[in-house]
């Protein structure tokens, strides 16, 4: 892997962190971001407890899939074991974003899965609900195992009393998943105030999911 490509990934993480803080997906130094390139034997992740708007590429930490630091002088995010476990088991992924956005965290704290009640949710999840992973302490191996188990092949999961994990082939996609979960959580909570949401029938959910798979976007690798 060339130095230029690795530097580019680190710069993308820095820019994603600034986007995350400025759009309210996290507050303070909360949350974390990781990314990798195909063929890498490690991944890059944000450092622990540093303000996103002050980060430089050299602050980003390289971590292997056993959780060991292999590059950089900073301490990695306390959630690096969770990122390692997710990326180790999902070769289709290039990025993991963990946020503490307000509405999604509220839903996660109520232990409420988000059903496929919006077409945007169906398009993102393939018609599946966004599940809630059981609570475990931040930074623990237990949380990593629970997150992986609850995620399965999904692209998003709510962490009970904690926040959101969004996955993608790259950082742009993973961030978009987190933004979608936040908007869906907001609509879900607001609809409950007025007696809803009224769920889309399962047959129609399956039909829409198949339609999005076949026709939405430009296809993999395009």
Q: How many CB atoms lie within 10 A of CB 43?
A: 28
pLDDT the model gives residue 1: 64
Q: Is residue 178 part of a domain?
A: yes
Q: Is residue 24 part of a domain?
A: yes
The residue segments making up the domain with residue 29 are 3-215
For residue 205, pLDDT beyond 70: yes
Q: Is residue 222 part of a domain?
A: no
The string of pLDDT tens digits covering residues 101-143 is 999 999 999 999 999 999 999 999 999 999 999 999 999 999 9
For residue 148, pLDDT beyond 50: yes
Q: Is residue 220 part of a domain?
A: no
Tell me, what CATH number does 184's domain have?
3.40.225.10
Give the residue numbers marked as catalytic: 79
Domain count, the chain: 1
Nearest in space to 61 (alpha carbons), one of 50, 53, 52, 70: 70
Which positions ≥6 away from 221 have C-beta within 8 Å?
Answer: none
What percent of the chain has a predicted confidence (pLDDT) above 90? 94
What number of residues does the chain have? 222
Q: How confident is the model at residue 216 (pLDDT cuts 50, 70, 90)?
A: confident
Peptide bond just before 197 cis, omega within 30 deg = yes
Q: Is residue 221 part of a domain?
A: no
pLDDT the model gives residue 2: 78
Q: Is residue 143 part of a domain?
A: yes
Q: Is residue 112 part of a domain?
A: yes
Mean pLDDT, the chain, rounded, equals 95
């Amino acid at each position: 892997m060339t130095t230029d490509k690795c530097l580019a990934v680190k710069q993308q993480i820095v820019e994603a962190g600034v986007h995350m803080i400025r759009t309210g997906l996290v507050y303070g130094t909360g949350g974390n971001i990781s990314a990798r390139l195909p063929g890498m034997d490690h991944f890059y992740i944000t450092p622990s407890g540093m303000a996103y708007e002050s980060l430089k590429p050299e602050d980003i930490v390289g971590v292997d899939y056993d959780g060991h630091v292999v590059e950089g002088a900073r301490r990695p995010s306390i959630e690096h074991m969770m990122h390692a476990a997710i990326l180790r088991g999902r070769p289709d992924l290039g990025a993991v974003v963990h946020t503490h956005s307000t509405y999604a965290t509220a839903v996660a704290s109520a232990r409420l899965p988000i059903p496929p009640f919006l077409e945007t949710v169906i398009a993102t999840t393939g018609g599946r609900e966004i599940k809630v992973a059981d609570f475990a302490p931040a930074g623990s191996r237990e949380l990593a195992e629970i997150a992986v188990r609850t995620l399965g092949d999904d692209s998003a999961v709510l962490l009970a009393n904690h926040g959101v994990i969004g996955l993608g082939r790259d950082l742009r996609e993973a961030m978009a998943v987190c933004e979608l979960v936040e908007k869906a959580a907001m609509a879900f909570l607001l609809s409950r105030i007025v007696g809803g949401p009224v769920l889309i029938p399962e047959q129609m959910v399956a039909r829409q999911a198949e339609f999005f798979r076949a026709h939405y976007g430009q296809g993999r690798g395009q």
